[in-house]
Structure 1
Amino acid sequence: MSTQPLVCPSCHGPAATGPDANGEYRCDYCGTRFRRAAAPAEPAPVVVKVSPTADGGQRTTALLLGLLVAIVGLSVAGAMFWLGAQQDHESASPSSPRTASASTPSRLSAEPKVVAPRDSVAVQAPAAAEPEPEAPASASFEFHRNQSGYKESYYALGIVENTSPFVIDKPKVTAVLLDADGKELGTKFGFATRGPLGPGDSSPVKILIDDPPAHDSVRFEVAPRKASYVPPQVEGLRVEPGEPRPAKYGDDRWEIDGKVFNDGAEAAKFVAIEIQALDADGKLMAVHSTFADADLVAPGDEARFSTGTFAAAGEVDHFEFSVAGMPGG
Structure 2
Amino acid sequence: MKVLETYLVAGLAGLLFYHLHSPIPWMLGAITGMLVWKTIIKRQVAAPKALSNSGLIVLGTYFGLSFTKETLLTIAPYIVPFLAVAVLLIVINIMNSIAVTKWTHIDKVTSVFASVPGGLSEMVAASESFNANTALVTIFQTIRLLTVVFLVPTAVVHWLSGDASSGSSTAQAVAASADGHYAWLLLSVFGALLLRNIIPAAYVVGPLAVTAVMHVAGVNLPPLPAWLIILAQISVGMNMGDRITLEDIKLGGKFSWVYFLLALVLIALSFGCGWAFAKLTDLPLSTALLSLAPGGLVEMVLTAQTVGGDPAIVSSLQFVRLLLVIIVVPNVLKWVFRKFPYITETSWKNRSVRN
* TM, length-normalised to structure 2: 0.24
Q: Relative CO higher for 1 or 2, CA cutoff 8 Å, sep ≥ 6? A: 2
Structure with larger Rg:
1
Query: In proportion to residue count, which structure has more strand?
Result: 1
* TM, length-normalised to structure 1: 0.25
